[in-house]
Amino acid sequence: MKQIFAALHYCHSLHVIHRDLKPENILFTNDNTVLMLKIIDFGRSKILKPREFVNDLAGTVLVSVNL
């Protein structure tokens, strides 16, 4: 969790919002010494100008499946 929050803090410090953060968009890499987190799929991301707000909806739509 600490790595996820650090990565999001870094993105937000650059005024980038991901807009589709979910477990499928978080990967882990292992170089045999350190397990590192990577956030992927910035396709719906947005770079905000100072004092700009986002009012539209974004992200993955949850689809219910009846089995």
Catalytic annotation present for 56: no
Residue 7: closest CA among 36, 44, 49, 30: 36
15 conformational bin, left if phi > 0, alpha if psi -120 to 50, beta if neither: left
- Would you say 44 and 59 are in contact if contact means Cβ atoms under 8 Å apart? yes
Q: Which of 20, 31, 41, 56 is catalytic?
A: 20
Catalytic positions, written as ranges: 20
